[in-house]
Structures are given as structure tokens and as C-alpha cells.
């Protein structure tokens, strides 16, 4: 599968496509918009729309299936998916590294893109707060010395000798130039799983830390961590923890804020600040989680008014009675408000 | 650029996106639906729709830009594009090989996908008729012994030593097992260009052969060449040449038929036979060239009636006066026919 997510144990493929999940390996295999070849969708009137082809190329008319990918079930219900699967890699390696600053995390990414090239399949980062949380709440232990930032790099390739040589060359360069101060490498499945769990179980650790305010933001990669720093300074002691982690290779930050319990005043300190900050950097207020019910009224921070109007026209055309996943994704249309 | 085409000398990027061109390296870099990050589009009412982001991930509302990709300018005019570019490969190799049957072309593809893995960037094929045409009309010469089929394989990677080793291992296997009977490899830019020109200049050679009936078909890869064989048998001497070539790695056949001059009876022998044949195999009657003016009334061979109706609704919504690239892509809508 060209898609892998922390939620792989519970999610369904129809839901993945409906939310346009990006996940851990978008960096390598690209978005579902490129890898979904066909869909079958049940429309609001109960009819089935058959766009279920398995061809890699088809330019006959408009690509209707794209409208349903990422529409969160508001335009139709996805009932079958045809997806392009890459060759299963013969060799997988994971490196878990410590970096002394976010600038070094970025420079490590540039170096590793150049040196690992086509075998790079994930570049994830987490800050020291995330590590503290997985250590405290899940009793996991860090395999490298305490660092302000951690990076998980995965390679997937067809030749283990070549892949290990590329990875070793990169690690030598990264250590020698001081980009990375400590690190460990795994080539066997069990150790790979242990390293991935440090990154994948952050969400779970957060749920043990109290009430969680979750933000899933796309930003130009250079500014990615500034939002965490600014938010931490802004909230001070009113938050328990402000943590940042995510798919750095895709410019996708998961910003999470915990508190002992839900507080309206803390929410007011976070929003709309977080959305305004993101909009100033031309980022997206929802990189991969969608807008759902809670964020639909903030769409204007990432999309111009004309685009939202056009989306509402599509919704009205495909679901005139508003029966498909109602009150989600889009703000209510002006017409409906008037009723 | 994640896109390369025979037409690269004359085409424009807005046109590429509007036609959703696939080209020579779709196999490696995927379709424009995954690599186009943002678009600016001028709509039928003269307003500009700004979907011009450069984020890799953005799930805020519906992905409007997808509707314009591949719509052949019938829904809006693309005026700016943001596109995700891969790392420029440090090493490029091309192998040009002769195969004794189409079955061996297919088996060579399977072997090469497994052994070249992530560095495979093109797998093109052409039949002996194509080679005769480029030899006759363009005075190019084949670098390998006469064969019923020829294959062009390209690798693009980040490490020339590793890439050459992978390619050599593959070639040894392919020669030893009789999949390939003759071949040549190029690593320097000049020779690479010479090998690519054999494949890229087929279209040009065809124009010197007479009137050309052109078909651009997607098929399950195993059946790809049967259409050429069946067409050749069907047309017999009424056609001058029936040739097949294309992007085998993507299941994309360019079927071309030449004759001394245009003849209505020859066209009747070809169509709708070619479309019916394709539909029986669940193929696409336009893999990458679009439907344009000539093929729009054949859309039903690749798309169900309900899908075409929905496309016509989109067209009516976005271009109610029908002023954008009129009479293209879709059959006239029933409503308009009644007027």
C-alpha cells in the first residue's frame, strides 16, 4: 500500500480516501490523488457512480473521482477503491537521530534528500517534549542521548547493500559535520518497529497527558517549528505542554497543546491565533485531517472566498438536501442560512 | 520537472496541465494529479480563482484544482501552476534492447521492475514497423540487431555506481534467460539522446508516411499489443502501416495507422472497432491526449452514462454560456441539443 498511518490498526480504506489521509510515506509515494486509480461512489440520490478503473492513464472527460477524495463523505460515500501499489521494498532501514536545533533538523533533511535520493521513504521529526511524554506515559525509552529534537529517517529500496551504503555515507557526513549528535540504525523488523513506535505513539501518549488541543498544519518547512515556539511563549503556564512533531518532509506539523482539563479561555488564547499565524505564512490549517465539524468555519484562513463559494455550489449540486455527512467540511452556504 | 514529453520543444506548462499529459516518466514520478500543488485559473465569468498554493498537503475543503487538470480548457483557463519537482538525478542510464516477442517485452518489464526498483524511470516499447519508419524517413539507424520488438529502459538515480550495478545485473539476467537477444547501454548524455530519439521521433516519422490515424489507448498491459495485431489483420492491405509503440510501463499504447491519403472507408474500418475493442478490455480510448473535438462523442466507450451526465452538469455550472473551448471534450448536453 502506498499509504501508511498511525491509525492503520483501526481505519478503513474508504475513510482514508474520503479524508485524503497523507500519512508517513507521502514523501516517497505521493498523495492519494495520484495513487487512487478508480472509485465507486454512492451519491446522495442513492445511485452508484462507477469510476472504478484500474488504468494508470485515462483522459476521457473530467476526473470526477477527485472530487470525492478528501471531501469527507459530504459529496458521496466511497464504496470501492482501486489503488496503485508500489513494489514491496526488499530492504528497509530506519535511523533515529538526535539534533541540537531545528535548523540542524532542516539541514539534515536537505543533506539526506541529496544523499539518500530515491530510497528516502520517511523523514519524521519530534521535539524533546514529545519524547518526555512517550517516556512518562508509555514507559518507552529513548535510544539516543537527550536532544532538543529527534529525527526518524526511513529508507526503502530494492538492494540492501546499496541502501546500507547510501545510509552509512549519509550518517558519516551528518555526524562529522555536527548536524547530528547521536543516532542509532535498525535493519531488522523488530528494532525498526521499536524506533517507529517512538514516533507513532505520540498521539497515544498525549491522551494520557490531559485534554488535548490538536492542530494539523502545513507550513513552508523553514517556518514549521516557529509556530510551536511562538505558541509556547504565548500560552506560558496556562498550557501543560505544547509539543510539535510530524511529517517534516511534507511540511506537515502536528501541533498539540495539553491542559489538565478543557478550558474555554485557553481555547481563546489558541484560536484564532494559530489560524492567523498559519494564514500569514500561506499555510494550511488542515494538512491531512480535514475540516470536519470543528474547523469548517475557519476555512477562509486557507481558501479564498470565491473558492469556498464554488465548493458550496458543488455541494448543493451533488447533495441538494444536505443529507451526506451534514454540518461538516464547509460553512453553511448563505442560501441555507437564509432559510 | 516531473514531466517529460516528446512535445517538450513546443508545449506550454498550462497546456500540459489542462490536457493532463502523462509523458515519458509517469512511471516514476506519477501523474500531474499528484505533482501539481496549486493552480490559478480564470473562470468563464472572467474572475480568477486562486488555488495557487505550494504546500504538499492541504485538506481544507474540496480540491477544486483537480477539476481543471485534464479538462482541456473547457472549465477555465490555467494561468499559473505550482508543481512539485523531484531531485534532479545525478546518474541517468539508458538501455535499448531487442526482444523476440511481445510476451518477452512483458516478462522483461516484470524482471526490470523487480531488479531496478526505485531507479526505473521509463519503460518504452516500439515494434519493428516503428523502427522501419524512423530508418526510412529520418535516416536513423538501429543500434541493435533487427528484432520484432524494441524496448527502451531508463534509470535515474542518486548514485552512479549503484545504478550501473543494478542495470548490469538486470541485463545479465535478461540476456542469460533469453528475454533480450541484443542490446546497448548509454551513460553519456549524447548517446542517451541518440537512443531516446529512436523512440521520441516515431511521431515525426509517421507524418512522412502519409495520412495518419492516431489512437492513444490505455489497456491492461498484457493485452496491449493484441489490439495492434487485430487491427493489422482487420485492415490488411487497405492500410499502409499499422504500428504500435508507447509507454508500456503505464499500459499506454500509441496505435497509429498510415495510408497514402485520408479515406472515409478506412476510417469506418477502424472506428468504432478500435473503441469497441478497448471498451471490451475496460481500457480508455484516450490515455493522455484527451478527447478534444474528434473523440468527444465516443466518451461512452470509457465512461458510464451517469458520469457523463455529471460532467455535463459541471460544465453547465462553470461555463453556462459554453464559451470556454467550445465543442470539446464532452458531447453536447441534452439540454443544449433541445435549444
Q: What angle do CA A284, A31, A174 make, to 5 degrees?
A: 80
| pLDDT of A329 over the 90 cut | yes
Chain B CB contacts of A320 below 8 Å: none
Strand order of the sheet with strand A48-51? A48-51, A36-42, A77-83
| pLDDT of A209 over the 60 cut | yes
- DSSP-derived secondary structure letter, A139: -
- SS3 state at A285: coil
pLDDT for position B23: 86
d(CA A77, CA A14): 8
Condensed to tens digits (0 to 9), the pLDDT of residues A93-142 reads: 999 999 999 999 999 999 999 999 999 999 999 999 999 999 999 999 99
| pLDDT of A1 over the 80 cut | yes
CB of A144 within 8 Å of a chain B CB? The answer is: no
CB contact under 8 A, B158 and A115: yes
Condensed to tens digits (0 to 9), the pLDDT of residues A129-183 reads: 999 999 999 999 999 999 999 999 999 999 999 999 999 999 999 999 999 999 9
Count of other CB atoms within 10 angstroms of residue A79: 13
Quote the mean pLDDT of chain A: 95
d(CA B129, CA B256): 11
| pLDDT of A335 over the 80 cut | no
| Domain over B6-83 is classified CATH 3.90.1150.10 | no
Q: Show the DSSP H helices in chain B as ranges.
A: 13-19, 26-29, 32-35, 65-68, 102-116, 128-138, 160-176, 189-200, 202-207, 226-235, 264-270, 273-280, 305-318, 334-338
Q: What is the mean pLDDT of residues B212-234?
A: 97
8 Å CB contact between B194 and B131: no
Q: Which of B47, B166, B286 sits opposite A306 (nearest CB)?
A: B47
Quote the mean pLDDT of chain B: 95
Classify burial at A302, counting beta carbons within 10 Å of its beta carbon; exposed 0-12, middle 13-18, buried 19 or more. buried
Strands (E), chain A: 36-42, 48-51, 77-83, 91-99, 120-127, 149-157, 182-186, 211-218, 241-247, 252-259
Q: How many residues does chain B have?
A: 339
Q: Give the CATH class of B209-300.
A: alpha beta
CB contact under 8 A, A31 and B61: no
Cell of A237: 503556564
pLDDT for position A65: 97
Condensed to tens digits (0 to 9), the pLDDT of residues A15-66 reads: 999 999 888 899 999 999 999 999 999 999 999 999 999 999 999 999 999 9
d(CA A171, CA A166): 9
Count of other CB atoms within 10 angstroms of residue B261: 8
CB contact under 8 A, A20 and B162: no
Query: Band of the pLDDT at B338, cuts 50, 70, 90?
Result: very low
Q: Which of B34, B53, B116 sits opposite A33 (nearest CB)?
A: B34
CB of B183 within 8 Å of a chain A CB? The answer is: no
Q: What angle do CA B313, B315, B319 make, to 5 degrees?
A: 125
Task: Provide ipTM, 2 decimals.
Answer: 0.94
Q: 521499536: which residue's cell?
A: A194
d(CA A69, CA A42): 13
CB of A33 within 8 Å of a chain B CB? The answer is: yes
Query: Band of the pLDDT at A6, cuts 50, 70, 90?
Result: confident
Condensed to tens digits (0 to 9), the pLDDT of residues B150-181 reads: 999 999 999 999 999 999 999 999 999 999 99
CB of B285 within 8 Å of a chain A CB? The answer is: yes
Condensed to tens digits (0 to 9), the pLDDT of residues B262-278 reads: 999 999 999 999 999 99
- SS3 state at B51: strand
d(CA A315, CA A322): 8
Strand order of the sheet with strand B48-51? B48-51, B36-42, B77-83
pLDDT for position A42: 98
| pLDDT of A338 over the 60 cut | no
| pLDDT of B89 over the 60 cut | yes
Alpha carbon dihedral B133, B139, B141, B147, in 10-degree steps, equals 20
Condensed to tens digits (0 to 9), the pLDDT of residues B39-52 reads: 999 999 999 999 99
CB of A89 within 8 Å of a chain B CB? The answer is: yes
pLDDT for position A86: 92
Domains A6-83 and A91-202 share a fold: no
d(CA A112, CA A94): 13
Condensed to tens digits (0 to 9), the pLDDT of residues B101-139 reads: 999 999 999 999 999 999 999 999 999 999 999 999 999
CB contact under 8 A, A66 and B71: no
Minimum distance, in Å, between the CA of residue A219 and any CA atom of chain B: 7
Q: Give the CATH class of A210-300.
A: alpha beta
Condensed to tens digits (0 to 9), the pLDDT of residues B289-301 reads: 899 999 999 999 9
pLDDT for position B68: 98
CB of B311 within 8 Å of a chain A CB? The answer is: yes
In CATH, which of 3.40.50.300, 3.30.930.10, 3.40.50.970, 3.30.70.2190 is domain B91-199? Answer: 3.30.70.2190
pLDDT for position A9: 87
Condensed to tens digits (0 to 9), the pLDDT of residues B22-40 reads: 888 999 999 999 999 999 9
Q: Which of B67, B165, B290 sits opposite A59 (nearest CB)?
A: B290
d(CA A32, CA A19): 10
Condensed to tens digits (0 to 9), the pLDDT of residues B302-318 reads: 999 999 999 999 999 99
8 Å CB contact between B234 and B277: no
d(CA A239, CA A29): 37
pLDDT for position A334: 58
Q: Which of B49, B87, B166 sits opposite A307 (nearest CB)?
A: B49
Q: What is the mean pLDDT of residues B208-217?
A: 97
8 Å CB contact between B195 and B184: yes
The alpha carbons of chain B give a radius of gyration, in whole angstroms, of 21
Residues 6+ apart with CB under 8 A from A196: A94, A152
Condensed to tens digits (0 to 9), the pLDDT of residues B195-209 reads: 999 999 999 999 999
Domain layout of chain B by residue ranges: 6-83, 91-199, 209-300
CB of B250 within 8 Å of a chain A CB? The answer is: yes
Chain B CB contacts of A303 below 8 Å: 60-61
Minimum distance, in Å, between the CA of residue A118 and any CA atom of chain B: 6
Q: How far from B195 is each of A131, B91, B204, CA to CA, in Å?
A: 53, 16, 15
Query: Band of the pLDDT at B21, cuts 50, 70, 90?
Result: confident
Architecture of domain A91-202: 2-Layer Sandwich (3.30)
Alpha carbon dihedral B209, B214, B218, B224, in 10-degree steps, equals -40
Condensed to tens digits (0 to 9), the pLDDT of residues A265-314 reads: 999 999 999 999 999 999 999 999 899 999 999 999 999 999 999 999 99
Query: Band of the pLDDT at A339, cuts 50, 70, 90?
Result: very low
CB contact under 8 A, A158 and B118: yes
pLDDT for position A332: 83
CB contact under 8 A, A55 and B251: yes
B59: phi then psi, degrees, rounded to nearest 5: -115, 60
Nearest to residue B2, comparing CAs of B87, B93, B117?
A: B87
Amino acid at each position: 500500500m502506498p499509504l501508511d498511518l498511525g491509525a492503520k490498526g483501526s481505519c478503513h480504506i474508504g475513510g482514508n480516501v474520503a479524508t485524503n489521509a497523507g500519512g508517513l510515506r507521502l514523501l516517497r509515494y505521493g498523495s492519494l490523488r495520484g495513487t487512487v486509480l478508480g472509485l465507486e461512489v454512492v451519491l446522495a440520490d442513492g445511485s452508484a457512480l462507477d469510476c472504478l478503473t484500474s488504468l494508470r492513464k485515462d483522459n476521457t472527460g473530467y476526473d470526477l473521482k477527485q472530487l470525492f477524495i478528501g471531501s469527507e463523505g459530504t459529496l458521496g460515500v466511497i464504496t470501492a477503491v482501486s489503488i496503485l501499489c508500489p513494489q514491496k521494498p526488499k530492504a528497509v532501514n530506519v535511523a533515529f537521530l538526535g539534533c541540537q536545533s531545528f535548523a540542524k533538523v532542516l539541514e539534515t533533511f536537505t543533506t539526506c534528500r541529496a544523499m539518500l535520493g530515491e530510497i528516502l521513504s520517511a523523514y519524521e521529526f519530534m521535539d524533546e517534549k514529545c519524547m518526555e511524554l512517550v517516556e512518562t506515559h508509555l514507559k518507552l525509552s529513548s535510544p539516543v542521548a537527550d536532544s532538543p529534537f529527534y529525527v526518524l529517517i526511513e529508507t526503502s529500496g530494492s538492494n540492501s547493500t546499496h541502501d546500507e551504503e547510501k545510509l552509512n555515507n549519509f550518517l558519516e557526513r551528518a555526524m562529522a559535520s555536527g548536524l547530528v549528535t547521536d543516532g542509532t540504525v535498525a535493519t531488522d523488523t523488530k528494532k525498526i518497529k521499536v524506533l517507529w513506535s517512538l514516533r507513532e505513539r505520540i498521539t497515544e501518549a498525549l491522551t494520557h497527558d490531559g485534554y488535548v488541543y490538536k492542530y494539523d498544519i502545513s507550513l513552508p518547512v523553514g517556518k514549521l517549528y516557529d509556530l510551536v515556539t511562538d505558541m509556547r511563549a504565548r500560552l506560558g503556564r496556562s498550557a501543560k505542554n505544547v509539543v510539535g512533531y510530524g511529517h517534516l518532509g511534507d511540511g506537515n506539523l502536528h501541533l498539540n497543546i495539553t491542559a489538565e482539563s478543557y478550558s474555554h479561555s485557553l481555547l481563546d488564547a489558541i484560536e484564532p491565533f494559530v489560524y492567523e499565524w498559519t494564514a500569514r505564512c500561506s499555510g494550511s490549517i488542515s494538512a491531512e485531517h480535514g475540516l470536519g465539524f470543528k474547523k469548517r468555519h475557519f476555512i477562509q484562513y486557507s481558501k479564498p472566498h470565491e473558492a469556498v463559494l464554488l465548493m458550496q455550489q458543488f455541494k448543493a449540486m451533488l447533495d441538494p438536501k444536505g443529507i451526506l455527512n451534514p454540518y461538516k467540511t464547509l460553512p453553511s452556504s448563505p442560501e441555507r442560512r437564509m432559510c
